[in-house]
Homo-oligomer: A and B are copies of this chain.
Amino acid sequence: MPEFFNVLPPADALGVLLDHVEPLCEVETVPTWEALGRVTARPAVSPEDLPAFPRATMDGYSVRSADTFGATESLPAYLEVVGEVAMGVEPGAALGVGEAAVAYTGGMLADGADAVAMVENTQAVGGETIEVLRPVSPGENVSRVGEDVRAGEVVLDAGRAVRPQDIGGLMALGIESVAAARRPRAAIVSTGDELVGRGTEPGPGRIRDVNSYTISALVEKAGGAPLRMGLVADDFGRQRRAALDGLARADMLVFSAGSSVSARDLTVRVIASLGEPGVLVHGISFKPGKPTILAVVDGKPAIGLPGNPVSAAVVFEMIGAPVIHALLGRSAVPRLSSVRARLARDVPSETGRQDTVQVTLVEEDGGVAAEPVFGGSGLIYTMVRADGHFTVPADKGGLYAGEEVSVGLY
């Protein structure tokens, strides 16, 4: 199979792959307080109204609002304080005409009351009598039953990553577990005769495996569970066995190729041999990462990443992370955290190819400057030194110093 028979722009390539990806159907029941970051597999429906009772939103007095109509500082309404509704306590007898009860923020309204007069708008006049100095409208300073949430309402859609406030919201309704999508398992195979695994001192001409670890961390960050399958030499049979083993044990395969053209040719032959429908995309019009392979094998996505660690990481973030989100059934794809920054120098590019450029960010007068990190994409530390990256679109031949770019943050 020749190199790059079907080069697509990255977004199109991702679309071709995603057309074949269905959310996993397994659901795990997770205690709500342990669900931070998990993706909901089913909508959560409220079993009850929130608040469940009319609550005072101010300290003051439960009143019948009609008793206060027309009240002014010079002509106040006089009410008799017949009791209080302490926090967490049910009110006693209902208020009669001209009666009030002490109310606390968050406490229950007295029976018969329909509003709360703020303590600041009242005055004690001896005994149990108060003056109300301003009229109170019906419902004023009251959170009514179901104002926050109604029974039967969907409070958290399926496909949402659970945030701290979502946990609080579910707990407020007594929803103590979440139906979470199982974390997709990604089998990671790193290939290349030159690689040595951890704990091994590389001899001359050999280098340490980087991609297994960077890609594992990116899988984890995207909400998946990495499964490192180890290192495999540039041998068709061994690579194919490792890939099939990975596919059998995981929901997707991530295969990082050797760096030479012949090693990459081997990778595409291996991936093409795994099953149907096989290779969908071979090559994307993207720097760094042209030799990317996207495939589907018996319903499972397989991604062949370039061996170069920077290309592998950038392409995985662009293609692999959305695949994990799709397997999770995550509907709202997370917005990339980004800042606007002014380019500190010219960045040449090639028309027809989308470029990702690593940058450091420096605060400057009235904004942020983005300084490209020099060094070929073969240098892993270009990405370690970077605070983020931006994209030069395919239709541009470069960007000039001073232009504003949107920098995606790491």
Contacts and interface: CB of A to CB of B under 8 A. Distances in A.
Q: Indicate the size class of the contact surface on chain A.
A: 35 or more
B380 A205 contact: no
A378 B106 contact: yes
Interface in A328-375: 335, 337-340, 375
A266 to B, nearest CB: 11
A52 B203 CA distance: 10
Interface string A172-185: 11101000000000
B106 A260 contact: yes
B205 A171 contact: no
Interface in A202-232: 202-211, 213-218, 220-221
A168 interface: yes
Interface in A134-183: 143, 147-149, 155-156, 163-169, 171-174, 176
Given A176-B199, A199-B176, A87 B148 contact: no
Contact of A193 (B88, B204, B261, B386): B88
Of the candidates A193, A213, A262, the one having the most CB atoms from chain B within 10 angstroms of its own CB is A213
A258 B87 contact: yes
Nearest to A194: B88
A410 interface: yes
Copy total for this chain: 2
A69 interface: no
Interface in A292-311: 307-309
Contacts of A258: 87, 106
Contacts of A203: 90
A129 interface: no
A88 B195 contact: yes
A383 interface: yes
B204 A53 contact: yes
A59 B168 contact: no
Between A198, A201, A211, the greatest number of chain B beta carbons within 10 A of the residue's beta carbon is seen for A198
B36 A208 contact: no
Contacts of A149: 381
Nearest to A214: B168
Contacts of A166: 384
Interface of A: 32-33, 36, 50-53, 55, 57, 59, 85-91, 104-108, 143, 147-149, 155-156, 163-169, 171-174, 176, 192-195, 198-199, 201-211, 213-218, 220-221, 234, 258-263, 307-309, 313, 335, 337-340, 375-376, 378-384, 386, 409-410
